[in-house]
Structure 1
């Protein structure tokens, strides 16, 4: 923040001076010295600068015993807005974002910060910069949290997984509409009759972002790296015994038992192909349509990769700005990132897109922590409190249908009616509940409304719940203190992979909250998964989810709808995994 802006804020917010805008106040140099944290000599220098900037009117007292008079000419809102817009107009987006973050200690009620966030919001969207004779099309996106882990071997959250799909490629891609696999880095593949040997034939001439041609050694190195970094997804690749390279463009995988799920494992993010000559823990290099040109705490800049083996993106750059603590007022349900595209003053220039997400919001019990929630009757009480039918009926909005499964088509098979809280009250007495307070962990932007709804319904039957909210996505290590956790699971378009990954990855909330005994039950149930044909795999996943539902280990809540408001000039809109926009396909219709 500019030093003179800081000086002005000290004047405006000083409780000792109690200055009001456009109201002259008698004041001494000594008092100003205390408020500005400087010497009396420097006070006069600072005042001259502030007066030259039009912030104040200063009339020094003449003669002994005569007070000077100071008049504030601008409110804090005006000063901050002018300074903020000045930074934006000069292309200093990074400093503008930093300015918002620096206001926390000055703007205690958050009013100015919310105003600047709205102004920043207007700068998001598509912009054409004449940086070259042909111009540069740039998409700006704003995120309410900083990026998490971008390592494909251990990525945890949906947005990061989506970004990896824009920066990197896998051997295959899964087409959800047809339920088939399509070529990507591998142009062909085959397996032995017993499904114990699989071979992939690689495209020639595919370049990594650092310029080197991709070969079969990179595929082998990527698989070996999963073991070296102890990827949470290792369980899925446990059938592989060894690999053999046949030249630069062919690789064979030998398994110790049949695996009919094998192709799914090479179209998912953990097997994103990385270069063997780069430490991917420190630098992300891929073969995808975009490459990283800048990455820090404020912004991620993606640049179109001109040597991409497929169709070059029509956008030239994508800037993703991280502005923490947007607050609940900025809750959007969207194809994430597109919700804040610049809007015209004419409402007819925007259009809404709804995208029902594959997955649901749910409530998770922390069985790693002792407490009353280990009693099955108590969990049944919570099932009635967090009643799916009542949840959708009373809160609505993006909660579109009650959920009894992560899969909407399974939930649709159930007949829904609202549970009785009177019965929940009776069951609460039989659970041994002694009036203790349970902690419910949630995120501010996504879950607060539902968390408070649960809290109120629980209070109606004498159950005490305290809501602990975080502004960021909750990581497993950050919720170990909680008894209950509000969560949302959005599955990949390859939903079979999404489900087995949810059950078996060691890094998610579910795995962190289940007890060893519970995980052992699921492990036994899912052990033969990869050896089964597709119908039997689907039945097995349904049975595993039935275990969760029958024992109330988790409580399904509602299926959610993602929503975006987009400028009419955007064309080529397609969704990828988790309902995000595929930015490699977007272009601007002038």
Structure 2
């Protein structure tokens, strides 16, 4: 009989949290513990831990034998199997369509080998059915937290994806045609010398609070980008002023011309906000196909905006749930159901238009200003060997910003030793920082062991997504495992990567390196497409020759998608295009 039939959900989670914590020391359903451990498991006081324990013993028919004497271990005996309890609770959550509790329990530290079996009831139960008449709700699982939704401060791909659903830009970039197309603006004119741009707005475009868009909102949004604290202020640095000659006309005056400014107007930080709206790092009012209803630590809820000026989004609600990477593949994109439509997911593996790399902190770390040491570290990044030893498949090695220009560069320990011998390295520990996720730990650990083979000592320092914008640790970092992801406009993305104050290049490259690159990017702005391609190649060659970074690989993402979801496309970040998703109508 399930222990969860008549017990509160909170008590379920307390019980399963305790079982997960004690599982490795459990023998024949008996485990030893000290009472003070429960304070950490349940994040409560000693007094409340005792109360919870007594409640669990009563409700779950456990046997608790207190330790004799201060500091001695106590003993607890369970009458049911932990795996069966976990499975029963997952089935209960599915039956009640309680996604929040389901995601809580899936984040417990149960054995990883159970994931495959626990996945089956989730996929069998999840089918397709409206939650109420005519309403379709999409549950999307992500491994990322929201760090900042304010478009002017966006620098993380997940934040950018969400912001693009909530807000709109004046123009859009059509990657297939390599041209700009109208969006919030119905048209625009550029004065011959490029010092004045006139933007003509569409009529009756509504914000989510139902006020119509005007030129004053354009002025407000662009002036926010000019603020000294804004990491994306490079997008507005050529602007001298913005005028509003009429409600539907905005005039932008420049102190110097920038032929690429139209591409800037299509970028996420240029999303137009209302001058009378509320804007925070977890909420803003936009004109987009979805409005934000809730932004919590592990869930973002979006509702379709019925008054959207383009086609209304098909999915009525989108719930984005954050889960740890090792659990996230249990569900990716699905709609809750009680109808018998089997999950049987199709697996897509879109290649992210981005690259992973090791960043060498030449701005702050005196040790990393040694070019010979950087060359030695770069030679350690043998992706073929890493992939083989880590048991991975599907390597797309990176030697360039773009996957279609990358080739496999051979690396060797012999060459690494040669560069190291020519360096001034004398055995000091190098501090390597990486995201606190399994993939990054795995890669960092491999690099650490590889470095030890030639006598370089590396210590690992994890950081969370919430620490990405924290600059206080920058002076202490020697090496940073990082990544860049391009938008659909790869040329603009190269500019953003090197000019955004929030991203790795501007934070960790030396002033001398940035001065050379900035000079190239100024020329880049005034060149045609072919010339810009050659300029990018030249910048890549520079960062390789200088060993500013060590290219690693281009990521792929495996996504299980419900077979009834239609028009599944991916953006350049590897996220499904949620605006265009739809599903055939289902019976109630």
For normalisation by structure 1, the TM-score amounts to 0.81
Match in the other structure for 2:149: 150
**Unpaired segments ≥5 residues, structure 2:** 1-7, 33-44, 65-74
1:587 aligned onto 2:582: yes
Aligned-residue offset at 1:474: 6.0
Aligned-residue offset at 1:564: 1.7
Distance change in 2, residues 1:534/1:256 (3 Å):
farther
Q: 1:19·1:72 contact (CA, 8 Å) conserved in 2? A: no
Match in the other structure for 1:65: none
- Taking the aligned partners of 1:362 and 1:582, their CA distance within structure 2 comes to 26
Pairwise CA RMSD of aligned residues? Answer: 4.0
Aligned-residue offset at 1:556: 1.2
- Taking the aligned partners of 1:340 and 1:450, their CA distance within structure 2 comes to 31
Aligned-residue offset at 1:196: 1.7
Match in the other structure for 1:447: 440
In the TM superposition, 1:134-145 aligns within 5 A as: 134=134, 136-145=135-144
Distance change in 2, residues 1:121/1:130 (3 Å):
closer
Distance change in 2, residues 1:420/1:347 (3 Å):
farther
Q: Describe the superposition over 1:274-314 as per-residue Cα deviations: whole angstroms up to 9, x where unpaired.
A: 11101312631111111111222231111111111111111
Distance change in 2, residues 1:113/1:512 (3 Å):
farther
Aligned-residue offset at 1:219: 0.9
Q: 1:381·1:428 contact (CA, 8 Å) conserved in 2? A: yes
Match in the other structure for 1:304: 304
Aligned-residue offset at 1:423: 2.5
Give secondary structure in 1 for the equivalent of 2:374.
helix
- Taking the aligned partners of 1:82 and 1:557, their CA distance within structure 2 comes to 43
In the TM superposition, 1:360-371 aligns within 5 A as: 360-371=355-366
Identify the match of residue 397 of structure 2 among 399, 402, 406: 402
Q: How many correspondences in the alignment?
A: 548
Aligned-residue offset at 1:431: 0.8
Match in the other structure for 2:130: 129
In the TM superposition, 1:505-520 aligns within 5 A as: 505-520=500-515
Aligned-residue offset at 1:450: 2.5
In the TM superposition, 1:274-293 aligns within 5 A as: 274-281=273-280, 283-293=283-293
Higher radius of gyration, 1 or 2: 1
Identify the match of residue 493 of structure 1 among 460, 468, 488: 488
- Taking the aligned partners of 1:190 and 1:248, their CA distance within structure 2 comes to 17
In the TM superposition, 1:197-346 aligns within 5 A as: 197-228=196-227, 230-281=229-280, 283-323=283-323, 326=324, 329-330=326-327, 338=332
- Taking the aligned partners of 1:258 and 1:71, their CA distance within structure 2 comes to 75
- Taking the aligned partners of 2:232 and 2:14, their CA distance within structure 1 comes to 53
Match in the other structure for 2:188: 189
- Taking the aligned partners of 2:422 and 2:276, their CA distance within structure 1 comes to 62
Give secondary structure in 2 for the equivalent of 1:170.
coil
Match in the other structure for 1:89: 95
Q: 2:106·2:327 contact (CA, 8 Å) conserved in 1? A: no
Give secondary structure in 2 for the equivalent of 1:219.
helix
- Taking the aligned partners of 1:566 and 1:212, their CA distance within structure 2 comes to 37
Give secondary structure in 2 for the equivalent of 1:355.
coil
Q: 2:278·2:285 contact (CA, 8 Å) conserved in 1? A: no
Q: Describe the superposition over 1:202-237 as per-residue Cα deviations: whole angstroms up to 9, x where unpaired.
A: 111111111111111111111111124632122232
Q: 2:354·2:403 contact (CA, 8 Å) conserved in 1? A: yes
Give secondary structure in 1 for the equivalent of 2:350.
strand
Aligned-residue offset at 1:57: 8.2
Aligned-residue offset at 1:500: 0.4
Q: 1:141·1:338 contact (CA, 8 Å) conserved in 2? A: yes
Match in the other structure for 1:32: none
Match in the other structure for 1:457: 450
Give secondary structure in 2 for the equivalent of 1:246.
strand
Distance change in 2, residues 1:554/1:117 (3 Å):
farther
Aligned-residue offset at 1:465: 2.2
Identify the match of residue 575 of structure 1 among 551, 570, 577: 570
Aligned-residue offset at 1:579: 2.6
Distance change in 2, residues 1:341/1:124 (3 Å):
farther
Identify the match of residue 427 of structure 1 among 398, 419, 422: 419
Q: Describe the superposition over 1:249-278 as per-residue Cα deviations: whole angstroms up to 9, x where unpaired.
A: 121212222221111010001110111101
Give secondary structure in 1 for the equivalent of 2:573.
helix
Q: 2:399·2:409 contact (CA, 8 Å) conserved in 1? A: no
Q: Describe the superposition over 1:173-227 as per-residue Cα deviations: whole angstroms up to 9, x where unpaired.
A: 1111110112211121121222222112111111111111111111111111112
1:562 aligned onto 2:557: yes
1:356 aligned onto 2:351: yes
**Unpaired segments ≥5 residues, structure 1:** 26-35, 59-68
